[in-house]
Amino acid sequence: MADVHPSIAVPAGRAGAGHLRLPIGRIALYIVLVALALVFVMPVYVMIVNSLKPLDEIRTGNLMSLPHEWTVAPWLSAWSTAQIGVQPTGLRPFFINSFLLVIPAVAISTLIGALNGYILTQFKFRGANLMFGAMLLTVFIPFQIVLIPMAKTLGLLGLAGTIKGLILVNVVYGIGFTTLFFRNYYAAFPGELVRSARMDGAGFFGVLTKILLPNSAPIIVVTVIWQFTNIWNEFLFGASFSDFSSYPLTVALNNLVNSSTGVKEYNVHFAGAFIAALPTLVVYLVSGKYFVRGLMAGSVKG
């Protein structure tokens, strides 16, 4: 953003002399920003340096210091050999489980959200607002309340302890959010485009797939990031509705940290935690600017 840059802020007449002069307020601002950035970077730094140290160094040394002897052994251990519960499998199978869970769950809940948003905004039917209100309400229901009914339902469906079951739970929980996102985006969508498409011969799904979805990139990105992060990081459902073969990564990480006998391998724990956080970090880094842009899109251009 150009207007934040100090050289732009100086009036044109004094540009030559004032090029190096920073106003006091701006210096203070930068100091505060740098300090806050350090606060946020510190845990990441601690995780990284300690995951690259032998265990001895952590026990004897300082958490903040760089490793004397660099090693990737903790990462390898966390990935493929560390004890998860009773099995020495490492996090790898559960990393795969999480992907098998997250990808379909994000895709399905996003598509249903788009469909719901389309119907709620383009077809004025009786009770549309009531239905939307009810869907919104699901966003505010605490996870714990539905644990037992959900366990019964999964049992009845024969999905208890499976990844499919977890996909179902996360899709059901995500629909409220995805519907909210898409409904608000499509409420501001130019109605003439939809009417024009209908006159041009596009049917129910034609309007959705040819007109609405291709013009929904910002809100799709927002929804995908939101759903990916939530489902990837979700712990309670994973802990409640899965068994050893279908644990998502969050549950496995918990087991890794809690199941070491004897010595706590902090370096392995740090590496494991970092592995678990990597996919969401990547998603944010790759599409972060779309995320901000998407969240702003509705408010700026109403």
Partner 1 sequence: MASLQLSNVQKSFGPVKILHDISIGLQDGEFLVLVGPSGCGKSTLMNIIAGLEEPTGGSLMLEGRDITRVAPADRNISMVFQSYALYPNMTVAKNIEFPLQMRKVDKAQREQRVKAVSRMLQIEHLLERKPRQLSGGQRQRVAIGRALAREPQLYLFDEPLSNLDAQLRVDMRTEIKKLHQRLKATIVYVTHDQIEAMTLATRIAVMKGGVMQQLGTPYEVYNRPANTFVAGFMGSPRMNLLKACVERTADGLSLVFGRDGGATVLDVPAAQAGGALRSYAGRQVIAGIRAEAVSLAAPGMVAGPGQQFFEAQVEVIEPTGADTLAVIFLGGEEFTVRLEPDVALAPGQKARFLVDLGKLVCFDTETETLIA
Binding-site ranges for partner 1 (CB under 8 A): 190, 192-193, 195-203, 206, 210-211, 214-215
Contacts of 234 (CB under 8 A, 6+ apart): 170, 248, 250
Cβ at position 292, least distance to partner 1 in Å: 21
- Helices 249-259 and 266-300: crossing angle, nearest 10°? 150
Residue number with CB closer to partner 1 (197 or 236)? 197
Q: Are 220 and 110 in contact (CB under 8 A)?
A: yes
Residue number with CB closer to partner 1 (209 or 245)? 209
Residue number with CB closer to partner 1 (73 or 202)? 202
Residue number with CB closer to partner 1 (197 or 239)? 197
Q: Are 283 and 228 in contact (CB under 8 A)?
A: yes
Residue number with CB closer to partner 1 (107 or 197)? 197
Cβ at position 122, least distance to partner 1 in Å: 12
Cβ at position 283, least distance to partner 1 in Å: 24
Cβ at position 203, least distance to partner 1 in Å: 8
Q: Are 291 and 229 in contact (CB under 8 A)?
A: no
Return d(Cα 164, Cα 170) in angstroms, integer.
10
Return d(Cα 167, Cα 271) in angstroms, integer.
27
**SS3 (DSSP) at 161:** strand
Cβ at position 217, least distance to partner 1 in Å: 9
Cβ at position 296, least distance to partner 1 in Å: 18
Q: How many CB atoms lie within 10 A of CB 132?
A: 19
> Could you tell me which residues are beta bridge partners of residue 242?
161
Residue number with CB closer to partner 1 (216 or 255)? 216
Residue 281 structure tokens: 């970090």
